[in-house]
Amino acid sequence: MKNSRRSFFKQGLVGAVALGTASISRPVAAIPTETNARAAKRIVLISLDGICVEGYLKAKTPNLDKLMAEGSLSLDTRVVMPSVTLPNWTSHLTGSGPEQHGVVDNSWEISKFTLPAIEKDSAGYYPSVFKVLKEAIPQMKTAFYYNWINLFYPYNKQYLDEVSYLEEDAYVPNYEKAFSFLKANRTDPTLVFLYSVHTDHAGHKYKWMSPEYIRSIEEADVEIGRFIEKMKQEGLYKDTHFMFLTDHGGINYGHGGVSTDEMIVPWGITGPGIKKEFKITEPNNTVNTAAVILHLFKIKQPLSWTGEVIKSIFK
């Protein structure tokens, strides 16, 4: 069987995307984990900013195609409102929407906000997936690699073992750092957030769906392929879960509205216990990412979180 997103996923998903049929997930209580499944060894969050579904399908991404064909993929995941960067990445990593974490725009800072979070730690931060994992699993290793300065503001650094910020859209060195971190901590449970904003900036500068925007996705795919190949050579690939994430799409030169091009994005996962070549049809939202991560590590989510586990992705 040909491992290609275009041969397996595209035909069944594009129609649903065009109609905008997905719905935002409902808040639910923590879902018990399966007793016969092992806890995850490590999870890598491959995170590209501003990836619209049309751009994801049009770009030539053989490495992501192959990775996602080995797992489960949604092309009708909804983002939280507003469809901008900081609220949505915060939602990915806190299992909650802006109503709970209080990050309602891109200008949020620990001492500069409009809506207070419904729960805070002693330093004033809403509980992130890094905090929950660190407190539940003492040997847990966590890392955060990024290249947009505001992105890190909503997180308490004490729950991260390594943080790396690169300026001027640089991101390749962070892929190298992430691999070294995973290699050094191969015997410990690990969560790595590996992010780049260059794709979003290409959309703002040249327009979403422009040749330059598509090229930025394809360039990232090359580095993702190199990263995955290193993981395979080091014997780290088979017992790693990979999640492919983004925060919003775009239209013309921007985003922030409620069009399907801005609000509906790809979301994928692969790894031990995940169904292969599976089309996710359950309603999905960015708030579900952290809930799935905790589920994989066998940890219950905080009561303040609203994300839910996408149960259909498991074998």
Q: Inform me whether the pLDDT recorded for 16 exceeds 50.
A: no
Q: Inform me whether the pLDDT recorded for 200 exceeds 70.
A: yes
104: three-class secondary structure by DSSP: coil
Confidence of residue 30 (pLDDT cuts 50, 70, 90): very low
Q: Inform me whether the pLDDT recorded for 4 exceeds 80.
A: no
Least Cα distance to 148 among 95, 204, 94, 101 occurs for 204
* Pairing label, strands 240-245, 162-165: unpaired
Confidence of residue 36 (pLDDT cuts 50, 70, 90): low
Bridge partner list, 13: none
Q: Where are the domains of the chain?
A: 5-26+37-79+132-279
Least Cα distance to 42 among 131, 115, 133, 132 occurs for 133
Burial degree of 112 (CB within 10 A; 0-12, 13-18, 19+): exposed
CB burial string 234-246: b at 16+ within 10 A, e below: eebeeebbbbbbb
Peptide bond just before 154 cis, omega within 30 deg: no
Phi, psi at 63, each rounded to 5°? -75, -45
Separation CA 84–CA 249 (nearest Å): 9
Q: Inform me whether the pLDDT recorded for 56 exceeds 60.
A: yes
Confidence of residue 34 (pLDDT cuts 50, 70, 90): very low
Q: Inform me whether the pLDDT recorded for 9 exceeds 90.
A: no
- Whose tokens are 């905090």? That residue is 131
Separation CA 290–CA 295 (nearest Å): 8
User: How much is the pLDDT for 37?
Assistant: 74
Kindly report the CATH number that applies to the domain delimited by 5-26+37-79+132-279. Answer: 3.40.720.10
222-225: long-range pairs with CB below 8 Å, 24+: 222/63, 223/171, 223/172, 223/175, 224/46, 224/63, 224/64, 224/67, 224/175, 225/62, 225/63
Burial degree of 231 (CB within 10 A; 0-12, 13-18, 19+): buried
CB 306 within 8 A of CB 27: yes
pLDDT tens profile 291-300: 999 999 999 9
Q: Inform me whether the pLDDT recorded for 18 exceeds 80.
A: no
CA 194 to each of CA 99, 115, 166, 227, 279: distance values in angstroms, whole numbers, following the listed order? 26, 28, 12, 11, 24
Q: Inform me whether the pLDDT recorded for 12 exceeds 60.
A: no
pLDDT tens profile 163-192: 999 999 999 999 999 999 999 999 999 999
User: How much is the pLDDT for 173?
Assistant: 98
Find the length of the chain. Answer: 315
Least confident range of 31-45, 85-99, 171-185, 200-214 = 31-45
Q: Inform me whether the pLDDT recorded for 208 exceeds 70.
A: yes
